[in-house]
Amino acid sequence: MLKDKVAIVTGASSGIGRAAALLFAEEGAAVILNARGEKALHALAAEIGGKGGKAAVVAGDVVEEATHRQMVEIALSRFGGLDIAFNNAGAVGPYKPLADVTLFEWQQTVGTNLTSAFLGAAAQIPVMLERGGGSIIFTSTFVGTSVGIPGMGAYAASKAGLMGLVKGITADYGARGIRANALLPGGTDTPAAGDVAQKEWAAGLHALKRIADPQEIARAALFLAGPMASFVAGSALFADGGNAAVK
């Protein structure tokens, strides 16, 4: 599905990002892997290479503009361009009632979840335009878009802001071949999902009464990245096990 395409995946060292990077590579894409943990990224790149795929590593924090510029430069120098960006990295931030959140905590959460998405898109779009367009995917969530959860106001605001970013990119660049969409997972079995009790609580929020395997969310990202979603732009794809439907 992604033969001869070039894709950036942030947050690729674990969870949804790792699953998406593996799947994109299996589908034929060359992938640029990003996260802060360099060791895990090199292990993933070796795994992809061992299966006949192509991968490059850019370790760095997505809150830094230089990280995104480096990924784009690697896409150009190693693989000739950029077609897909899965801007997936994020952080939950503080678990506190909103009035207890410090300005530093707020800025850190918004920076990781929303400003980083802007920085990624700003670096990625010009290079994609040189190829006649591309697909940009942001990982949002049901938190802040369909429901509020106590103690997660900063996270909800930053993730909901991605929906405005998606619409803005679509208005600016849709006619030039850029498809921007948000992927909204439900609870997913990743390191951020917590312990067994927390996973069981999260499962109860979903109509399917379970949380997702990361590969299930990766397949939704693959749909948005590939040609089957050629007329999907400016949208929010809920891959949330019916969570939003039963609130």
Residue with tokens 């969310």: 217
- Per-residue confidence (pLDDT) for residue 19, from 0 to 100: 98
Per-residue pLDDT of the chain (247 residues; tens, 9 = 90+): 999 999 999 999 999 999 999 999 999 999 999 999 999 999 999 999 999 999 999 999 999 999 999 999 999 999 999 999 999 999 999 999 999 999 999 999 999 999 999 999 999 999 999 999 999 999 999 888 887 888 889 999 999 999 999 999 999 999 999 999 999 998 888 877 778 888 888 888 899 999 999 999 999 999 999 999 999 999 999 999 998 888 7
Give the pLDDT of residue 195.
84
Residue of 238, 196, 188 lying closest to 213 (CA atoms): 188
Contact (Cβ atoms closer than 8 angstroms) between residue 48 and residue 247: no
At residue 171, the pLDDT reads 98
Rg value, the chain, Cα: 17
- The maximal CA–CA distance of the chain, rounded, in angstroms, is 51
Please name the residues in contact with 200: beta carbons below 8 A apart, sequence gap of 6 or more: none
Beta carbons of 132 and 230 less than 8 angstroms apart: no
pLDDT for position 178: 98
pLDDT recorded at residue 199: 87
Is 155 an active-site residue?
A: yes
Query: How many distinct helices (H) and strands (E) make up the chain?
Result: 8, 7
8 A C-beta contact, residue 148 and residue 142: no
Q: Which CATH number fits domain 6-246: 3.40.50.880, 3.40.718.10, 3.40.1390.10, 3.40.50.720?
A: 3.40.50.720
* pLDDT recorded at residue 242: 92
The Cα–Cα gap between 50 and 65 comes to 31
pLDDT recorded at residue 89: 95
pLDDT at residue number 104: 97
Q: How many whole angstroms separate alpha carbon 198 and alpha carbon 109?
A: 21
d(CA 219, CA 235): 17
Instruction: List the catalytic residue out of 24, 79, 86, 155.
Output: 155
